Amino acid sequence: MTAQFASMIARRPALTMGMALALAIAVVALLPGLFAPQPPNAIDVGRALLPPSAEHWFGTDHVGRDVYARVVHGARVTLGIVAGSLALSALFGGVAGTIAGYLRGWSDLFSGQLVEVILSFPPIFLGVMITGIIGSNVANLMLALSIVYLPLFFRAARSAAMVESARPYVEAAQVLGAGEGRILFRHLLPNVLPAVLTQYIILFPLALQIQAALGFLGLGVQPPTPDWGASLQESKDYVLYASWTAIFPGLALVVSSLAVILIGRGLQSRT
Amino acid sequence: MSGANGRELLRLEGVSKVFAQRRGFSRTAGLRAVTDASFTLAGGEVLALVGESGSGKSTLGRTAIRVVEPTAGDIWLEGERITDLDRRQLRPLRRKMQMVFQDPYGSLNPRIRIGAAVAEGMRLHGLASARTLRDRVAQALEQVGLRPEIADRFPAALSGGQRQRVAIARALAVEPTVIVADEPTSALDVSVQAEIIDLLKALQSRQALSMLFISHDLRVVGDISDRVMVLYLGRIVESGPTGQVFRDPAHPYTRALLQAVPKHVGAAHGKRQLLKGELPNPVSPPSGCVFHPRCPFAIEACRSADMSHREVAPGQVTACIRDDLPAFDAQREDRT
């Protein structure tokens, strides 16, 4: 068992490390209270901007909140928003792309053009625009992020569906008397899914960046909810003499991105 | 084996298929895959479609059961005209017309278990209740010589021969009356080919199935079929009882095909250059008899021949206008 595990690490070190990291981060995000019992929003102005110590591992911020508690509790908020909005994107983009790739014709042309329009905006600009128009709260932020990444899921699913549609099992299903809906959902979608999942892994770090950037611009999660991007924003005035207020939320972003990138790399170099 | 009930099951009249080709916004001349094909398939009969690749045999087989839409002509199934039925109207009829595909690696969905794949047709056509479904699947698998336990596996766990058996079980599970077998053995190892042919033969005679057997392997065709149709460039150039056609082919193209069959495995024979040139472009087929540019017996009149069929023996027709061909000798090549 241990030997097996060791050989797995040796064979696919990136994947194993990425998975281990992601698992650890997921556990922290799901059960923050277990790792940081202190409340993330407890203000204690008398103990503001203290450097890291045994009592406050990551120090305290400008209103005396424990940075460690805010980073740990922020994991659920930040990563949850990214994971959730990408899942929404993958669902709608994936299904629409599969339909377009299978049916082709005018619906494909129309949705393809619509997607091109979205793609022509830089993601951060589009995110600012959407949250700026409809207001910045968690639901709107998620909606904005899903719209930003929908085209990429659409494209990935569409091209996979086009390849799969040409395979004989689709014709075989038609010969059996299966309707379009059945062919799409029972036959094509499961075969398009790997392409969508790959896209999900590729886009996760990018979406995390955009989420943090929007948080930094104040267009994301509103205070006092702990969020890594928002924490970076709050720390910007103190970063010169209380660097820990920025370093630890930033590090959390880097490590989370790294975990997903490692998984992606590991899956890519499949032997 | 021939004619278990002999009644007409499938009839095609003047069926053509032209694949439209688009270049940008303009439509150019279409690819004529099948031109003016007429034939009938009787109950319990095995009709073989032979020809080289690109001859349109797969397209004709698919058009006959309306998997491919005909551009012209009419199709009748059990006396009912099915040419104009739309997809929805056609769906209940799918049960009667099944197909076995060439590539058993592609024709089974890699993400659907064998049992579910075999059950799909029965479920779609309401042939089994949820309770009896498992038993029906087991029966269907046993019928093609597979163990029922295989139902829980995915296609990737099966060999090519096993997969083709599954594909056959899937097609037969809905109790069809016509099966189109599109080169069902050409993607398989030689050792497995004979097994699949024997299985198809056994099932065909046991259930009095009608089969349209598409192949370029004349030895298999001679083994399995009652009648044979020879296609060249989308045209039926000769058809008739298999034994009769193989013994005394009336069309020069059929002769060339038969002479190309190696007689003894390992026997040394000189380079065979039976046909000159290559299959012409089906977008702009030759005038007159489409075979005349490659035909060793072509005469001036062939350039404007209309390729209508004439009977040369009971049940045997040819599209060749020459009735003065030298006697056929399978061992020797025809020369001009």
How confident is the model over B59-86, as pLDDT tens digits?
999 999 999 999 999 999 999 999 999 9
Which residue has tokens 């020369």? Answer: B335
What residues in A contact B167, CB-CB < 8 Å? Answer: 172
CA dist B192 to A264, B160, B165, Å? 41, 8, 11
The CB density around residue B5, as the number of other CB atoms within 10 Å, is 11
| Architecture, CATH, for domain B8-232 | 3-Layer(aba) Sandwich (3.40)
Residue of B nearest to A172 (CA): B107
Q: Going residue by residue through chain A (271 aa), what tens digit of pLDDT does each one get?
A: 577 777 777 778 888 889 999 999 999 999 888 888 888 888 888 888 888 888 888 888 888 898 898 999 999 999 999 999 999 999 999 999 999 999 988 888 888 898 889 889 888 898 898 888 988 888 899 999 999 999 999 999 999 999 999 999 999 999 999 999 999 999 999 999 999 999 999 999 999 999 999 888 888 888 888 889 888 888 888 888 888 889 999 999 999 999 999 998 888 775 4
Residue of B nearest to A178 (CA): B124
If you compute the radius of gyration of chain B from its CA atoms, what whole number of angstroms results? 21
Phi, psi for residue B161 in degrees, rounded to 5: -65, -40
pLDDT digits (tens, 9 = 90+) for B158-189: 999 999 999 999 999 999 999 999 999 988 88
Beta-carbon separation of B106 and A169 below 8 A: yes
* B109 closest CB neighbour out of A169, A174, A175: A169
B17 bridge partner residues: B34
Q: What is the average pLDDT across B21-47?
A: 85
The strand pair at B235-241 and B316-318 is best described as antiparallel
Domain ranges of chain B: 8-232
pLDDT digits (tens, 9 = 90+) for B207-232: 888 999 999 889 899 999 999 999 99
Distance (Å, rounded) from C-alpha B119 to C-alpha B169?
10
A:B CB pairs within 8 Å: 58
User: How far is A212 from chain B, CA to nearest CA, in Å?
Assistant: 38
Domain ranges of chain A: 24-268
Peptide bond into A224 cis (omega under 30): yes
Q: Which of residues 139-178 of A touch B (CB under 8 A)?
A: 167-169, 171-178
* A178 closest CB neighbour out of B92, B108, B124: B124
pLDDT digits (tens, 9 = 90+) for B232-260: 999 999 999 999 999 999 999 999 999 88
Specify the pLDDT at position A251: 94
DSSP state of B326: P
Beta-carbon separation of A172 and B103 below 8 A: no
Distance (Å, rounded) from C-alpha A110 to C-alpha A159?
16
Q: Which of A145, A110, A112, A106 is nearest to A129 (CA)?
A: A145
What residues in A contact B102, CB-CB < 8 Å? Answer: 168
Q: Is the dihedral of CA B48, B53, B56, B62 positive or negative?
A: positive
User: How far is A234 from chain B, CA to nearest CA, in Å?
Assistant: 49
Residue B333 confidence class, pLDDT cut points 50, 70, 90 = low
Q: The whole model's pTM is what?
A: 0.84
- For A24-268, CATH gives 1.10.3720.10
Q: What is the average pLDDT across B289-293?
A: 91
Distance (Å, rounded) from C-alpha B179 to C-alpha B45?
11
Interface residue ranges in chain B relative to chain A, Cβ cutoff 8 Å: 65, 67, 91-92, 94-95, 97-99, 101-103, 106-112, 120-121, 124-125, 167, 170, 174
What residues in B contact A167, CB-CB < 8 Å? Answer: 106
Phi, psi for residue B74 in degrees, rounded to 5: -130, 150
CB A130 within 8 A of CB A146: no
